[in-house]
Structure 1
């Protein structure tokens, strides 16, 4: 979380980007944070966001940033680790609907359903790229 207003949090790193309050409210609704502006005192309030928002709220706010800025690519590192499965599903579906290509780093088996391939890091400089189906079949055969 950066220092600044709720608006700045949502627009980071493009804090000068012009977005209406209605657009901000829409994106907060999409990530299940619709009541956040009213809870904290509006879009211009400056708070210590890392202490105000739970880790799950911070993760959902980061997804809101992605939905506002719509980058071509996003690398997500444990981006839903503090969320329940329903919120995780919603957020990944939002990214898919926005046509944002994403790479996830994570340990939750639930992430597999949102991806086509798995990069398996082995020892030293060895790795393998598998389809999700091959990865699951391999995992099932080693159990």
Structure 2
């Protein structure tokens, strides 16, 4: 058994997020584990860019209300206690609603070769985000 101290919280890069988003690393697996877990906190209106994950991603909402959307226009309104499974390769974005904070645990696996399991794409346009909030 090993106790890990709390890692410092960092502000996420503006190249991958819109608005103020903060990330606290929780776990980055050591072989044979490839699990990585982070607590991600979104301020109202903040969101990720479009992105996908080579081996998928699981989001578990810890508090607040948020949105997850896919390229086909599906929008899920998520709340504390909800869990969303994003399959491998599915392009999606997630973040807080326009008027509430949202925090989630982001869980995914690193690639066996050590490469980045996330493919970051373009920002979500403001109009698309506004439309998602109205659903």
TM-score by length of 2: 0.26
Bigger share in helix: 1
Higher relative contact order (CA 8 A, sep 6+): 2
TM-score by length of 1: 0.26
Bigger share in strand: 2
